[in-house]
Amino acid sequence: MATTIAIDASGDGTLTQRSAFWLFMRRKSTIGVLMVLPLLAIIAGLVAYPAGYSMFLSTLNKAETKFVGFANYLFLFKRETFWMVVQQSIIFALVAVVGKAFIGFVAAHAVNTIPTKGQRKWRGMMLIPWVIPPALSTLGWWWLFEPTYSAINWVLAEIGVDAIPWLSDTFWARFSVILVNIWIGAPFFLIMYLAALKSIPEELYEAAAIDGANAWQRLYHITLPMMRNIIAITVLFSIIVTFANFDIVRVLTQGGPRDSTHLFATYAFRVGIESNDIPLGASVSLFMFPVLAVLAFLILRNVRKRAMEL
Amino acid sequence: MATAVAEASVGAGLRASLTRNRRWALIASYASLIVFVIFFLFPPYYMLITSLKTNKEIAELSTNPWIIEKGITFQHYFSLLMDTGFPIYFRNTIIVTICVVAITMVVSILAAYALSRLKFWGAGVLATGVFLTYLVPDSLLFIPLFEIVGALGLLDTYWVLVLVYPTLTVPFCTWIMIGYFSSIPKELDEAALIDGANHMQMLIKVFVPVALPGIIAAMIFAFTVSWASFLYPLAYIFTEDQMVLTVGTVTTLIKGDVFHWGGLMAGALLAAAPPVIIYAFLMDYYIAGLTSGATKG
Amino acid sequence: MALTKQTRRRFLKGAAATAAFTATAPYIKTAYSAGTLSLGLWDHWVPGANDVMERICVDWGKANNVDVHVDFITSIGNKLLLTAQAETRAETGHDVYCVPLWLVSMFRDSLVPLDDVVQEIESRHGKLVPSAWFLGNIDGVWRGAPAPTGSLSYANVSRADLYLDHAGIDLKAIFPANGDRDPALVDSWTYDAFLEAAEKLHAAGHPFGAAIAPAPDASAWLSTLFTAYGVKLVDESGDITVDSDETREVLDYLSRLTQFMDPGVYAWDDAGNNRWLISGTGSAIFNPPSAWAVAKRDNPDVAQHVWHHDAPRGPAGRYRAATPFFWGAWQFSPNVSAAKDLFLHVASPEVVTEMLQASQGFDLPLVEAYYESNDIWSTATPPDGVLYNYPIRGDEVQSVAGYPAPPEIASAIATQGVFPNLVARVTQGGDSFDDAIGWAENELEGLMRG
């Protein structure tokens, strides 16, 4: 940085070192502000303002005619269904992300092990779920689960297993929405981990093999530490997206049976739009923030730490 | 290093055991890959099969649902392309996606350059702010946005999607680009500045070419998001000639309590085709760009 | 913004009323009207019905010098409701909007009063059906005019052959396709008889099926059953009355009935029962004629044995769930007077009859007198007379999920799925009656928010 300034200043002989420095700083910051202006406009106008407006809405009564403060939140605290939504959102996000991370990790390992020649083909096939628009692929899943026509149950019947109530039983419905989420999201983990695996120097493994390390030891002492960063980042990002999921539950179960599969977003839609209680819907949505804020803190700490490492 | 020494001393016995381990690893890998590929591909396979069945066979309970027993029909594809607004949805989606990708890239490249290279007052806070934007879910925003969209006169035009999709794409893309630009050595800027380049020239002539893999990754991300988004078009678009693929396919082919399964599946597969093609060609860039953005950010 | 909604209301009632009563004269552009009218109408599932609807509206526009534009909006994914939310919040969009069932009550503050129009319709064509009064007339003010399409009811749709073979009940004899009913036979069609038949049909591999899930169909059929047993979740004055012997009785009935139903019903959407019947497995459902119509296309062997008929009778009477559709005019519309003219036009017998033909009898008119003047339901086939009893012909009383609670609460009862949830807690979740009723009380209390 210092060199840059010196060079720039020396290029302009009529100015003193000092005033040239300030001029340069001003120019640089002006340009900087101009360059981020579009971003600022998008964030301020289309995210911050509506988010603030949502917060305002959440403080009104149902007819939006009266300020009620925190009454909507206090109301939610007393509702059994709301706590079920909180519980289900957390279960959904955690189980789905762990599932995605696990499948992604194992699949990435498997692809990395086979000869390079065939890797693209396998990788390409496994990426397909990630590429189909989720709202549409979820419809396909729904048709697989549909109680009367379920093609999965047809297979189970062929091998003599009882039909599984995929969407009608609370346990299986929760299982199903998580399964579909894993199906859609795991390929993303796969490619992230695959790239990370490729960046681990081969010599590390060779050295470990010579030292007599078995496969588990190599995994534990080399692979996992080398991939720590990327695992952390993908998991945290995925939790954010999974937590806010809307499409899958909306298409697959609409929150049923007995509200057991509702997530924050679908429940907010149910009370806000469908029951015409927009302030309450906004309050439900805003409940995602505390959880997400914790995640944001973790990610930011992580990012900063890595920035310092650089 | 130690490797060479060890290899020399231990010799052939070790190599044999490595080969044996390698064989087992290969078998395990192929076995698990086959399991995963079945898991990942059986739903699309079933969608394809359904889209080629006659309505009568779809409604049939006695046949094997996994194969076509009563003759293949392309009827669902024909009627999708001829009798419905599907081609219009396709066109609209392409227009929206191209605009969104273009806007996203311009905004996020400019911002990322400023945030990673021009250390102006508030840059750090802003970088954090961009990050936090990613936490705000669209399900919270779409109701207040009604009023903004209405005031701008954009309700029920696909331009509203061009306006709001960047809120979904820009934060993440900016983040990828910040990561990528940070990994470019500072010596490059200095050299360019000596040559008298201004910041805009430097960005276009130096940063963009160097960060091309990251840019492609970000573009694919923006493409995927705007191609697949569901809630915003569901909320803002209701005219047939403004509709996009995701919502249009569902709303055209589900009538009251009647589902046109064959057509729905055909529509889903056709809608998935462009992303599949793009990924097939550009996936290596995508992987390289995403991971360097994530690891070096 | 929303806080000032009340003050921004435009009271066009005086001017608009004048226009409404000159409907037969050529439409005269007022200062308000830009001569255009855009309609957001319900996307009809019957192929071709939309085209007829659009033609009727556009032709009317041409005759009255109004430029009419029609959009058809699906009710799938609650898009019709979502779009209504969008338009009322954005204060822009269509002039005329289709507001079925609860939407009139939900958007009462955004809909123009239509007392003049509806009174004129009633004086010209006769009284509207009771469900239309309950849903369209909010606090004494009409906010919706009868829509020419969409209104439906949930008939008992059965496989007459299976009932005859396995349960020994001849539904075609009880509910013949003509006016000659035998009251004694009709009286024998009770929920107890229904349960008995359900057991036999279940044993024969053809169970009864109806959704007990968060779908409108579920609230519809369950609410009629509850009403037939004299249960009110919330009464007229807004008091929670779910904790009653009647509720326990109906829950007891349902825990027996559900033993003979497919476990999949807890996940059915509105199409679940259609597929159930069309597949040939199901013996009975509660539905408008859409299941039969699709069966005609996809499984004619099933379709030719289908029969639409009255619901069973319970201790407190015989009820049929109805879903009336209305058209309303948004208050932000600059052309309310033209909208009112159109409402009058589409309520005429000619338009309703034309739409009935186009929808193959799916749409039920909201003017009572129209049932007698149309033969579409007597002529539908196969089998002959399949739809004769789709309009109410006997002692059935129309009901709406949540009735008779005040509309605000009743609509929440329906949209939040209180009925299916309460039932599933007992029949699927294994809750005791008291626990389930306790849950319902808590839930209903939550719906009372002002």
**Model pLDDT for residues A92-134, shown as the tens digit of each residue:** 999 999 999 999 999 998 998 888 888 888 888 888 898 889 9
| pTM (whole model) above 0.80 | yes
Establish if A217 belongs to a structural domain: yes
Nearest CA in chain B to C294: B258
DSSP state, A11? Answer: T
- When mean pLDDT is compared across A55-59, A78-82, B208-212, C5-9, the lowest value belongs to C5-9
Residue C326 phi, psi (nearest 5): -125, 160
Alpha-helical (H) ranges within chain A are 2-10, 17-43, 49-57, 71-77, 80-113, 116-131, 134-145, 151-158, 170-198, 202-210, 215-218, 224-243, 247-252, 264-269, 278-286, 288-309
> Chain C partners of A276 at a C-beta cutoff of 8 Å?
85, 106-107, 411, 415
**Please, are residues C78 and A273 in contact by the beta-carbon 8 Å criterion?**
yes
Domain extent, residue A276, equals 71-309
The CA distance from A87 to A94, in Å, is 11
Q: Going along C76-215, which residue ranges are E strands?
A: 96-98, 137-138, 141-142, 145-146, 152-153, 155-159
Q: Is the pLDDT of residue A296 over 80?
A: no
Q: How far is A237 from chain B (nearest CA, A)?
A: 9
> Using CB atoms within 10 A of its CB, is residue B223 exposed (0-12), middle (13-18) or buried (19+)?
buried
Q: Do C146 and C367 contact (CB within 8 A), yes or no?
A: yes
Tell me: do A39 and A76 sit in the same domain: no
Q: Where are the alpha helices (DSSP H) in C335-448?
A: 336-346, 349-358, 376-379, 407-415, 418-427, 433-446
DSSP class of C307 = E
Residues A180 and A260 in one domain: yes
- Residue-wise pLDDT for A264-275, tens only, equals 999 999 888 888
CB-side neighbour CA atoms (13 Å) of C444: 23
Listed residue (C108, C54, C70) closest to C355, CA to CA = C54
Interface residue A15 vs chain B (CB under 8 A): no
Residue A65 is assigned to a structural domain of this protein: no
- Hey, what domains does chain C have and what are their CATH numbers? 7-151+324-374 (3.40.190.10), 153-322+380-446 (3.40.190.10)
pLDDT of res. C11: 28
Closest CA to B200 of C238, A30, A287: A30
| Cα C277 to Cα C273: distance, rounded to the nearest angstrom | 6
Question: Mean of the per-residue pLDDT values for chain B?
Answer: 83
Same domain, A298 and A172: yes
Split at pLDDT 50, 70, 90, the class of B58 is confident
CA-nearest residue to C73 within chain B is: B238
The C-alpha atoms of residue A54 and residue C159 are separated, in whole angstroms, by 51
The two tokens of residue C273 are: 């029962």
List of chain A residues whose C-beta atoms are within 8 Å of the C-beta of residue B264: 136, 139, 143
Q: Are residues A172 and A34 in the same domain?
A: no
Q: How far is B287 from chain A (nearest CA, A)?
A: 6
Nearest to residue C78, comparing CAs of B146, A274, A135, B244?
A274
Examine residue A175 and state whether it is found in any structural domain, yes or no. Answer: yes
Is A144 in CB contact (< 8 Å) with chain C?
no
Identify the band that residue A23 occupies on the pLDDT scale cut at 50, 70 and 90: low
Q: Which residues of A touch B257 (CB under 8 A)?
A: none
Nearest CA in chain A to B106: A38
Give the nearest partner residue to A273 out of C85, C279, C429, using CB atoms: C85
Does residue A64 lie within any of the structural domains?
no
Nearest to B192 by CA among B177, B179, B207, B181: B207
Residue A63 lies in a domain: no
What pLDDT score was predicted for residue B12? 58
According to the model, what pLDDT value does residue B6 have?
46
pLDDT band, very low/low/confident/very high, at A304 (cuts 50, 70, 90): low
Q: Which residue of A has its CA nearest to B230?
A: A135
Instruction: Show which subunits contact B, needing at least 3 CB pairs below 8 angstroms.
Output: A, C
pLDDT in tens, B74-124: 988 998 888 888 999 999 999 999 999 999 999 999 998 888 887 777 777
- The reply to whether A66 falls in a domain is no
Percentage of residues of chain A with pLDDT beyond 90: 27
Size of interface A-B (CB pairs under 8 A): 307
Half-sphere exposure of B132 (CA within 13 A, CB side): 17
Contacts of A28 in chain B (CB under 8 A): 118, 120, 199
- Subunits next to A (3 or more Cβ pairs <8 Å) are B, C
Cβ of C74 within 8 Å of Cβ of B156? The answer is no
- Residues with Cβ < 8 Å from B23, sequence gap 6 or more? none
Q: State residue A108's pLDDT score.
A: 92
Instruction: Give the nearest partner residue to B59 out of C1, C73, C279, using CB atoms.
Output: C279
What CA–CA distance (Å, rounded) separates C201 from C197?
A: 6
- Tell me which residues of chain C have a pLDDT lower than 50: 1-34
3-state secondary structure of B116: helix
- Candidates A222, A280, A235; CA nearest to A63 is A280
- Contacts with B, A 71-100, CB within 8 Å: none
pLDDT value of residue B289: 67
CATH at A265? 1.10.3720.10
Contact indicator for A185, A96 with CB cutoff of 8 Å: yes
ipTM for the whole complex = 0.84
Structure confidence by residue, pLDDT tens digits, B226-266: 998 998 998 888 888 899 998 888 887 776 666 778 888 99
Cα gap A237→B135, rounded to integer Å: 9
Number of domains in chain A: 2
Residue A4 has pLDDT above 60, yes or no: no
Instruction: Mark yes or no for CB contact A62/C449 under 8 Å.
Output: yes
How many Å apart are CA A113 and CA C25, to the nearest integer? Answer: 83
- Average pLDDT estimate for B212-237: 88
Do A34 and A122 have their domain in common? no
Residues B58, C298: C-beta atoms closer than 8 Å: yes
- pLDDT reading at A25 higher than 80: no
Give the residue on A whose Cα is nearest the Cα of C428.
A169
